Copies of this chain bind each other. A is one copy, B any other.
């Protein structure tokens, strides 16, 4: 349902919802004919599926391969075609940068230019992060009139640029010409209110080029995904609950913060995350807890590592279940099949276990084929939140 309707129908009570997101959960069969989930020993997930409502979620739309942003926003109830998060903002979230709603953020790439200013390497030979750090310190000394400028290293040749001040606009074009042999493009305003911001950025780029000139191969830079923190309604307000996010990786913490969740400090492993969850169990109504390893293994194209990651999260299912959430959901933000070695468009296994009023499907297990036969069918991820709220007794009747 639309967020406006959810806001209208949501009511408070003392139930708890636990949303476990297994990043990159969905897969594809390898030559054996069975997928990662089908081959993994995941007895706890399989047993939970027998007593759950099952289906496959479509993260954005049929055929669309989502990035992490749209993949999570859908599960949080936001239509990912309506609510978009710019690359600059995601980059800021990814390093825990405290982005304000009026800041303009950009992803920066160091690059190499020749004597004529033409780009010869769009990634500056992928210089190491250790070399990017001092370059960012140099660039951070550049001053612009009336705005604060932040330059933060990210990884390899990538950095974050943030302008902070009044009246900035993100209706701006990127400077990366997307191929070598061309000059970086100027920033252009796509709306009149962005002219001043474009001028500031072009001034900054001109100064940056002078600063960088001795540092070949990183003697120039490009800016991409210039964006402001998008205006997002708060999930906590819409659902009238206290929402907490537990994620080891900064980007997922940032996404959760964007939609109005309280981000709980936690450690680097899922065991740390689980400890954080238990510690705060009494203080919140809704918990988003994130497991990253399955996606990382899929991205690496490592079928066995993905199986191992799924088997790892399976060992935590009983502890999660033992918390006795009124609604316990296991979902994925997108598929990352090892044979694709990247995100993909394939619908994602999903299950919802509820203490009461769940019409369980008696699924044969928790995998792509079994979930395809679930009664939820293949459905949009943005409906997950409504289903959770309903099964938690947190939605009132619609209409008389």
Residues of chain A touching chain B, judged by Cβ–Cβ distance below 8 Å, are 1-2, 5, 9, 28-29, 35, 56, 60-70, 80-81, 84-87, 90-91, 225, 337, 339-340, 343-347, 357, 359, 361, 368-369, 372-379, 383, 386-391, 395-400
Contacts and interface: CB of A to CB of B under 8 A. Distances in A.
A37 to B, nearest CB: 12
B1 A60 contact: yes
Contacts of A62: 1, 376, 379, 383, 386-387, 390
A290 to B, nearest CB: 17
B64 A398 contact: yes
A62 to B, nearest CB: 4
Given A62-B383, A359-B28, A69 B400 contact: yes
Nearest to A380: B62
Nearest to A72: B399
Q: Which 9 A-B pairs have the closest CB atoms?
A: A63-B386, A63-B390, A372-B375, A1-B61, A67-B399, A62-B383, A70-B399, A377-B377, A87-B400
A387 B346 CA distance: 10
B398 A1 contact: no
B66 A397 contact: yes
Residue among A67, A90, A344, A357 with the highest chain B CB neighbour number at 10 A: A357
Contacts of A372: 361, 374-375
B398 A65 contact: yes
Dominant secondary structure at the A interface: loop
Given A387-B62, A400-B67, A359 B346 contact: yes
Contacts of A2: 81
A377 B374 CA distance: 9
A81 B386 CA distance: 15
Nearest to A360: B29
Given A65-B397, A389-B63, A376 B378 contact: yes
Contacts of A28: 357, 359
A52 B157 CA distance: 42
Given A28-B357, A340-B357, A372-B361, A61 B399 contact: no
A29 B361 CA distance: 12
Nearest to A361: B372
Given A63-B387, A372-B375, A373-B373, 12 more contacts: A56-B375, A61-B386, A62-B383, A62-B386, A62-B387, A63-B386, A63-B388, A65-B396, A65-B397, A66-B397, A68-B400, A346-B359
